[in-house]
Amino acid sequence: MRYFRRAMIGWMMLCGTVPLADEISPVTLDPITHQRASLRLDNGTQQVTLSPAELEELETYRISTSTPWRAIAADFDGVLLRDVLALNDMQDLDAIRVLAENDYAVEIPNWVWRTHLVLIATRVDGAPHKRRERGPLQFVMLHDAYTNDPAMSEGYWVWMAAAIEPVE
């Protein structure tokens, strides 16, 4: 399965649907103890709840980037939003609503995760992502995706993400 995913990502890179390989790279993460957190996926008929450790059972990636709140680049490790959505048959939705632990909510249209690599970061610079640092689960994109695409919104960089549900 991992070979198939890597082959598909390689094919998409050749077709120009995702950024170049040097901007994001697959990474193997050693097990670590995460802060208590979970991400609930609700597709309208079924719910799945995953801890950071369970998310990391998917293919993991590293993005080295700055963010609107972090001027100095950091290494963010985690899983791709599109892989997480596929777990619960949500990848073909027109849009999702992401809810944070602090009641922040944002709608993200599907072109965002189809056009840009959106990482659900579980770690920053190799350590568990902490709430004080916008964790334990944070949506991260390459800085260039945010700054070079006028349709992108700072609001898509969700931190303390707690749930994903369909927009009806």
Residue 54 in any domain: the answer is yes
pLDDT per residue as tens digits for the range 11-57: 344 334 443 334 777 877 777 666 678 999 999 999 999 999 999 99
pLDDT per residue as tens digits for the range 104-150: 999 999 999 998 889 999 999 988 877 677 668 888 887 666 666 65
Given a cut of 60, whether residue 58 has pLDDT beyond it is yes
Residue 14 in any domain: the answer is no
Beta-strand relationship, 119-124 and 24-26: unpaired
Task: Tell me, yes or no, if the pTM score tops 0.85.
Answer: no
Residue 71 in any domain: the answer is yes
Closest by alpha carbon to 138, among 155, 153, 119? 119
Look at the chain and report how many structural domains it folds into.
1
Residue 43 in any domain: the answer is yes
Residue 116 in any domain: the answer is yes
Closest by alpha carbon to 137, among 120, 124, 114? 120
Q: Which residues lie closer than 8 Å to 13 by C-beta, 6 or more apart? A: 19, 20, 21
Residue 6 in any domain: the answer is no
CATH number, domain with residue 35: 3.90.420.10
pLDDT per residue as tens digits for the range 87-109: 999 999 999 999 999 999 999 99
Spatial separation of the C-alpha atoms in residues 79 and 27, rounded to whole Å: 10
Domain of 116 in residue numbering reads as: 24-166
The pLDDT of residue 150 is: 58
Residue 92 in any domain: the answer is yes
The 10 Å Cβ neighbour count of residue 91 is: 16
Residue 161 in any domain: the answer is yes
Given a cut of 50, whether residue 69 has pLDDT beyond it is yes
Spatial separation of the C-alpha atoms in residues 60 and 31, rounded to whole Å: 12
